[in-house]
Structure formats: structure tokens, C-alpha cells
Chains A and B, each alone.
Chain A
Amino acid sequence: MTLQSLDIVRRSATTTPSPRARGAHTGEVAKLIDVSKCIGCKACQVACMEWNDLRDEIGTCSGHYDNPADLSAQSWTLMRFTEYENPDSGHLEWLIRKDGCMHCAHPGCLEACPSPGAIVKYANGIVDFHEEHCIGCGYCITGCPFNIPRISRKDGKAYKCTLCSDRVAVGLEPACVKTCPTGAIVFGSKDDMKQHAAERIEDLKSRGFANAGLYDPAGVGGTHVMYVLHHADQPQLYANLPAQPKIGAMVGLWKGAAKPVALLAMAATILAGFLHYIGIGPNETDERDEEAARRELEKPS
């Protein structure tokens, strides 16, 4: 197809790694969301819809600031608002988190996906869905520790943030990053983003947020969308951001142990049937069997 396909490092439902001629020698990319700088204006949501040609249905007010109420196949990112009364300071804190795909280094969606090539991971760290291969089973939702993918009711396929892979591929930043008026969302190489985060954390600590820190969870091998949190010790404060996200045990069991065993059992069954057919052959009846059957039928019951 294109040379781009050489940049794939992992592919769903494919045990053998794709041959890779090129690597991300300039490092992986990352998006850093500084929760402490976010004002909740939702420009990122609008820019995302504009760039990706998405228009969600106009919903109804659900009584809180989250709008739309949840992620959908047409809303790939969403500001989640939480009012938190800090017991230490007594202050009311308005915590705003931009929710969306975290682009994990070990993606649970890719792990769980049964359709070859429907989910791929590029060398730059982006995890992308390829809807033409998607069978709409929804296993990616089960596999995702952050509950991000959504199935479209229009075409029955799964959708989520692509980290604007089409923009990043030509050297641009994602649409949400570009539009952010306060600079709460920044984009660059993962190393640079970690350094930027370290500076922000130092600043937050000097302003009284002793537990400020970076959210780059090791349970999924680190992510390519990271947060600077003022309460990094309690990520669940931010609209239930999981403290220790992990790919579900069932996904590991089905895709790890059960799958090869089941495949082996299937292959053995087919092979046994084939050998039986060749070696022993099908059941055949001769004249004596037919005669016995006729007598059996004619016998008065």
C-alpha cells in the first residue's frame, strides 16, 4: 500500500510482528495535558470535531458542565468536570480533565481486538483504529482500562481519538493542542514533554500543591497522552481517572493462554478427522447390514 505501513510496530490479532524497516529515531511523540492550566473552555472538543469531520447530535442538559454527557463515536474528547472540596485547605477546587484516548505503550484495545489490522500502533507511539478492518465486536472497549472507544450506531464500528495521526504524519501538532488558548495542552517528543512536565510540577509544588506529579501509568507501559495533576497521589479525583490502570485479566487469559490452546484443539480435531477419513474411511454398509435393518423394521413392535 504505502511506505507508511512500515511504521507499524504492533497490529491487532497478529502474533508475528510486522517487518519494520524504519524506526522512530527522533523519539516517540506525546501530548501533555496540564490540568492545572485548563479553564474548561472546550476549544479542544470543537477543534477535534472540526478537524476530524465529526458532528455529534445535539444532546440535552444533564445537569452538569460535561457536554456532551459522555464520549461517543462522534465525540472523541470530552472535558470532565469535578467539584472537589479539599479537606486540607477547605477550598473548593474545580478539577477539569480532558478525557480521551491515552495512546498506551501496551494498548489494552489492541490486545483484546480479534480482527487482524483493525488496531495498529505506530512507531511514534500513536494507537490508531482502522475502521475498514473493524468488525464491531466491542472487545476494544472491554480491553481499554480507560473506557475510551465507542461503537458507532451508524456503521457499527469502533471510534476514538487518533491523536490526529494524519496531522502528526505530516509534522503538525494535533488539532486540540493547536487550539488550546491557555497552553494547557502541549505536544512534542515524549522526552521533551516529560521535561516540560517536570518544570510544571516544580512550579505547582512551590505554589502549595505538594503532591503535584506526572500521570504516565506504568501499568500500561506508559502513555503517549500524559497529565500534570495537582493531586497526583489521588488521580481518581479527576472524574475517576484510574490510579493503576491495567489491562483486564480476562483479556490476558483469552488472548494469552486460552487462544493457543483453543487453536491447537481445533487443529487437532481437524487433523484427527482427516487422518481417520484417510486411514479408516467412512462407515460403509454391506448387504448383511441392510438385511438386518429390514428385519428390524418389519418386526412387530
Chain B
Amino acid sequence: MADLTRRQFLKVTGATLVGSSLALMGFSPTPALAEVRQFKLARATETRNTCPYCSVACGVLMYSLGDGAKNAQPSIFHIEGDPDHPVNRGTLCPKGAALVDFIHSPNRLQHPEYRAPGSDTWQRISWDDALERIAKLMKADRDANFVEKTADGRTVNRWLTTGMLAASASSNEVGYLTHKVARSLGLLAFDNQARV
């Protein structure tokens, strides 16, 4: 390198300048930076409820968009078990753990529907119509089939031709009332959250 010419000296100087400039402009290894995904529940509204599926009635926490402000329309985006609920203490079965998709399912039944005998289509009816029809049918069936006494004269007061199969996100108190209503009618076939 003793016989470095003027031109060669300029080349080396130029290359060094370009290299150091590139490093300064950001073409150098990045520092170790990374963060975890943002915690998605931080300011969501938390609402307690009961799982609507089975009679175990696990407590759930529902998280919805917005902080309850007047102009925010809440929509549930996450559900997990309620750790303070004595039944499940935060746990949920696979059905309960998937509740958020049940809420937003396009197949979810949101109002009473009626299918006439022989028809293949469901039609929407009002709650009043539905309750009136159910009450009338129940009364007719109970009047026809209620068993007050057995053949040997023992009082049983039972109604075996109709059953109640239902589920809801109801509380213990609602379950008590449901039980009283169904049993006082003489219903024996009975499965819902008030069962246990």
C-alpha cells in the first residue's frame, strides 16, 4: 500500500464514508425489541352472568366493547369463567368456553317462531302469541290427561303427557320459581337449570 495513488486514496475514503453513512441511516442491526400482544380486556366492560347451557349453572364473565359510555354500543367479544363463582371458580367446559360464538351465531334463535303442522317453514310470531298458544295447549292437554288418583285410590296429582325442556342464563332465585311453577302443575318430565 506504500504506492497508493491519489485516485486510490480518494476511493478508499469515499467507500468508508458511504459505509458509515449507511450504518447511521439505519442499515445496521436492530436492537432487541419485542413486546407481547396487547392485553385485550384492559378497559372492557365486565358483566357477570350464568352460563345458559346446563343445570350446573357456571358463572361467566362477559367482556364487551366500550366502557359503558352513552355513545358506545356494547358488543360481547370475550367470555371466560367467573373465578368468584362458587360453582365453577373460573373453569368452563368446552361448550361454556365457546359461548362468544354462540352469542354471535347467525343461527341463534332471537325471537319466538312457529311452524304449523305439515308446514316446512318457520314463521315469526310475537311473544304474546307464543305464550298464549303455549298456555292454551298446556291447559287443554292437562285437562285431558291430568292424573289425580291412581287406580287404587292414591292421590298423585301428576301430569305425564307434557314435559319442560329449557335452559336460560337464570339465577338461583329464578330457578326456584321455575321449579315451583312446573311442579305445581304436576309436571314430572322436567329438565332445565332448576333441575338440581
Contact = CB atoms under 8 A, between A and B. Distances in A.
A164 B141 CA distance: 55
A178 B90 contact: yes
Interface string B85-122: 00010111110111011000000000000000000000
B70 to A, nearest CB: 28
A179 B37 contact: no
A50 B78 contact: yes
B15 to A, nearest CB: 8
Contacts of A50: 78-80, 97-98, 100-101
A178 B12 CA distance: 63
Contacts of B90: 178-179
B196 interface: no
A97 B33 CA distance: 35
A139 to B, nearest CB: 18
Instruction: Classify chain A's interface size.
Output: 35 or more
Nearest to B99: A50
B139 interface: no
B35 interface: yes
Interface string B57-97: 00000000000000000000011110100001011111011
A181 B92 contact: yes
A5 B97 contact: no
Interface in A145-163: 162
B91 A179 contact: yes
A141 interface: no
A128 B4 CA distance: 53
A39 to B, nearest CB: 10
A181 B93 contact: yes
Given A42-B94, A179-B91, A181-B91, A47 B34 contact: no
B29 interface: yes
B34 A45 contact: no
Contacts of B94: 41-43, 45-46
Contacts of A128: 34, 36
A114 B100 CA distance: 38
Contacts of B80: 47, 50-51, 175, 178-179
Contacts of A178: 80-81, 83, 90-91
A30 interface: no
Interface in A21-66: 41-43, 45-47, 50-51
Given A43-B92, A46-B94, A46-B98, A166 B40 contact: yes
A14 interface: yes
A167 to B, nearest CB: 7
B52 to A, nearest CB: 16
A2 B35 CA distance: 7
Most buried by B among A2, A133, A278: A278
Given A5-B32, A8-B34, A130-B34, 20 more contacts: A5-B33, A11-B34, A18-B31, A41-B93, A41-B94, A45-B94, A46-B97, A46-B98, A128-B34, A133-B34, A162-B36, A166-B36, A166-B37, A166-B40, A169-B36, A178-B91, A179-B80, A179-B81, A278-B4, A281-B8
26 contacts: A4-B36, A5-B32, A5-B33, A14-B32, A41-B93, A41-B94, A43-B91, A43-B97, A46-B97, A50-B97, A116-B30, A117-B33, A120-B32, A128-B36, A162-B37, A166-B37, A169-B39, A170-B39, A178-B80, A179-B90, A180-B91, A181-B88, A278-B1, A278-B8, A279-B1, A281-B8
Closest 8 CB pairs of A and B: A18-B32, A46-B97, A166-B37, A165-B36, A4-B35, A43-B94, A47-B97, A1-B33
Interface of B: 1, 4, 8, 11-12, 15, 29-40, 42, 78-81, 83, 88, 90-94, 96-98, 100-101
